[in-house]
Amino acid sequence: MTKWLERQVPKMVLAPTFAAILLFVYGFIGWTAWVSLTKSKLMPRYEIEGFQQYTKLFDTPRWDTAMNNLFIFGALFIVISMVLGLLLAIFLDQKIRTEGVIRTIYLYPMALSMIVTGTAWKWILNPGLGVQAMVQGWGFETFTFDWLINPDYAIYTIVLAGVWQSSGFVMALFLAGLRSVDGEIIKAAQVDGIPTPRIYTAIIIPSMAPIFLSAFIVLSHLAIKSFDLVIALTGGGPGYATDLPATYMYAMAFSRGNIGQAASSAMIMMAVVFAIVVPYLYSELRAKHD
Amino acid sequence: MTDATIQTARSPRKTSSRTGRIVLRTLLYVFLIAFALFYLMPLFVMLTTSLKSLDEIRTGSLIALPRDITFEAWKTAWSGACSGIRCEGLRPYLLNSLMIAIPGVALSTLFGAMNGYVFAQWKFRGANLLFSLLLFGCFIPFQVVLLPMARVLGILNMAGTIPGLIFVHTVYGLGFTTLFFRNYYVTIPMELVRAAKIDGAGFFRIFWSIFLPLSLPIIVVTVIWQFTQIWNDFLFGVSFSQAGTQPVTVALNNIVNSTTGVKEYNVDMAAAILAALPTLLVYVVAGKYFIRGLTAGSVKG
């Protein structure tokens, strides 16, 4: 009896976590999926009505803007962060004497809350007293830099702040990758007289493919979940110009009292995340079992 | 080195390649320093703005140093700025964030350690599936759980309370904390556990006297990760709090976006720095562990 109990201990230790995950992750996803198929408004209703919420969602111009913004912001944010991160990592890898200090400076934004980042950039970019006013004060009276209040450009301010926050982290990932490349191969290439840029493009960067992949996963995940940054920097405005799916969902859930729309937009967000993450996780888990 | 100098002195071709190298190195440093300035600039602007008077902000340049340093804005941000209708500054909300973060970090780390220990050393049938379920849970966008969680917190009478937020952060932190500990504990040889079992030690005894003493680095990584996550959280904070229980990120956003009265940019900046200080401090003191958590959280397996 005690032997049997002894063997059950590990399972009992896991039980609370297992129950919590089952209920609060998978059960809740199920609840949201269910409600997204109903006519819920201010209060959730549980009679399944079909895919009306989704049809309505895709007919809503505001959601259209939000999805467009997600693709613009996501693509730019990911590409710029990766390119910048890789460049900074390669340059930092050239036996720089003050590497430690520079690395610390590049990475510190990652420790900040997106709300702090948004607040800082909102102040820097505000046309009245920020960068625009500063450059005008230098004598360039016609200089304009009003992206923050310009509906066509406001989304790029979010890209700017996002890249500022996350590129240092990508740099750290790549730097760790560069350091783990087999030194012998590089030395051999140097002995053969292959120029340094070529060593990078032909040997080192291709061997870092897994790091590109995980950087991509993390960044796309950050992009889809971006909520705080938009709230703090533009509040989704001007108008709805910088709405993202996350802010749309929040507005529907907590200020518009439209639970059906909130649930269906949340489900679309999850679909986007899973389209990117599931193949990755699947391959990772399989690789480990082999 | 001396050989090289002698040689370069003789051959002009070598000299030019050497100047070329010096030029390249200089460009390299210019590039790296330019970006260091790019990353530092917002912090610098925040700090100088917070030390200026409103008059000086309106008349001076964004990046100018303050002419007369004043701590008025800091005082207001600390105990007088209005978030919503309450004008108590950021102090009560900093306290809220602490009261959420400390138990949240402790609980999720504790559970993570025990779970990771089981997943790494006490595998049973179905453990792999369970671990995969947990991993997928790390990646869901939290929007998908916001609505049902709001209802459940309501049912449990924890809506808008600090215990409610502790609960939410603990539950959704479990995935990462378990992952951290599991990946750390798999590197400890199985033989150790087997030998201890033969000696008659049980599950908890082995954890307590073998694993826990080895765990300091991973505990530090996990605590820092969770603390940063919880402290910087905004989505849960804004969804599940009410006036009086808001965490500092929500209060900061309210202060900055309050529409009443004159916009006090210096107070906004002081408040932003106050809200950022704890995590910045952690980063400065324990940067190595902070980075390790970030990379462990992204490079799975």
Helices (H) and strands (E) in chain A, counts: 15, 0
Nearest neighbour of A11 by CB, restricted to B45, B57, B124: B124
Mutation pick from B143, B149, B166, B292 vs chain A, by most beta carbons of A within 10 Å, is: B143
CATH number for the domain spanning A135: value is 1.10.3720.10
Angle at A252 between CA A251 and CA A253, to 5 degrees: 95
Q: By the 8 A CB rule, do B96 and B245 touch?
A: yes
Residue B135 lies in a domain: yes
CB contacts, 8 Å: A254 with chain B = 239
Extract the tokens encoding A245. 């799916």
Mean pLDDT along residues A68-82: 95
Asked if the C-beta of B296 comes within 8 angstroms of chain A's C-beta atoms, the answer is: no
Cα gap A284→B242, rounded to integer Å: 41
Mean pLDDT along residues B97-101: 96
Mean pLDDT along residues A169-174: 91
Q: For chain A, what is the mean pLDDT?
A: 89
Asked if the C-beta of B163 comes within 8 angstroms of chain A's C-beta atoms, the answer is: no
Q: Tell whether B180 and B50 lie within a shared domain.
A: no
Distances in whole angstroms, Cα of residue B88 to Cα of each of A94, B82, B233, B240: 50, 6, 21, 21
Cα gap B82→A172, rounded to integer Å: 38
Cα gap A195→A181, rounded to integer Å: 17
Mean pLDDT along residues A184-206: 86
Residue A6 lies in a domain: no
Nearest neighbour of B136 by CB, restricted to A16, A134, A281: A281
Nearest neighbour of A92 by CB, restricted to B32, B58, B130: B32
Distances in whole angstroms, Cα of residue A109 to Cα of each of A118, B23, B232, B299: 11, 31, 12, 20
What single-letter amino acid sits at A61?
Answer: P
Range of the domain at B135: 91-298
Asked if the C-beta of B144 comes within 8 angstroms of chain A's C-beta atoms, the answer is: yes
Mean pLDDT along residues B56-65: 84
List, in sequence order, every residue forming a beta bridge with B241; answer none if it has no partner.
B160
pLDDT digits (tens, 9 = 90+) for A144-169: 888 888 888 999 999 999 999 999 99
Residues 6+ apart with CB under 8 A from B297: B176, B179, B180, B225
Count how many domains chain A has: 1
Query: Does residue A232 register a pLDDT over 60?
Result: yes
Distance from CA of B3 to the nearest CA of A (A): 19
pLDDT attached to residue B5: 42
pLDDT attached to residue B9: 43
Mean pLDDT along residues A76-98: 92
Range of the domain at A148: 53-289
Q: Tell whether B57 and B99 lie within a shared domain.
A: no
pLDDT attached to residue B168: 96
Query: Does residue B85 register a pLDDT over 80?
Result: no
Q: Tell whether B65 and B105 lie within a shared domain.
A: no
Q: Which of residues 198-257 of B touch A (CB under 8 A)?
A: 202-204, 228, 231-235, 238-239, 249, 252-253, 256-257
Mean pLDDT along residues B16-23: 83
Model confidence band, residue B138 (pLDDT cutoffs 50, 70, 90): confident
Residue A33 lies in a domain: no
Query: Does residue B129 register a pLDDT over 80?
Result: yes
Residue A101 lies in a domain: yes
Cα gap A107→A188, rounded to integer Å: 33
Q: By the 8 A CB rule, do A273 and B139 touch?
A: yes
Higher pLDDT, B222 or B84: B222
Q: Tell whether B123 and B201 lie within a shared domain.
A: yes
CB contacts, 8 Å: B40 with chain A = 105
pLDDT attached to residue B17: 78
